[in-house]
Amino acid sequence: AQTVTQSQPEMSVQEAETVTLSCTYDTSESDYYLFWYKQPPSRQMILVIRQEAYKQQNATENRFSVNFQKAAKSFSLKISDSQLGDAAMYFCAYRSVDQGAQKLVFGQGTRLTINP
Partner 1 sequence: DAGVIQSPRHEVTEMGQEVTLRCKPISGHNSLFWYRQTMMRGLELLIYFNNNVPIDDSGMPEDRFSAKMPNASFSTLKIQPSEPRDSAVYFCASSQVWGAFGNTIYFGEGSWLTVV
16 in contact with partner 1 (CB under 8 A)? no
56 in contact with partner 1 (CB under 8 A)? no
Nearer to partner 1, 15 or 103 (CB): 103
27 in contact with partner 1 (CB under 8 A)? no
Contacts for 85 with CB less than 8 Å, ≥ 6 apart: none
45 in contact with partner 1 (CB under 8 A)? yes
CB 10, CB 90: distance < 8 Å:
no
Say how far apart CA 103 and CA 3 lie, in whole Å. Answer: 12
- Per-residue b or e along 38-55, where b marks 16 or more CB atoms closer than 10 Å to that residue's CB: beeeeeeeeebbebebee
DSSP 8-state class, residue 59:
P
Binding residue for partner 1, selected from 69, 102, 113, 115, defined by CB under 8 A: 102
Residue 8 C-beta: closest distance to partner 1, Å: 15
Q: Within the chain, where are the H helices?
A: none
* Kind and range of the H or E run holding 88: strand 88-96
47 in contact with partner 1 (CB under 8 A)? yes
Residue 73 C-beta: closest distance to partner 1, Å: 18
Binding residue for partner 1, selected from 25, 35, 68, 90, defined by CB under 8 A: 35
Q: Which residues bind partner 1 (CB under 8 A)?
A: 33, 35, 37, 42-47, 50, 52, 91, 95, 97, 99-104, 106, 108-109
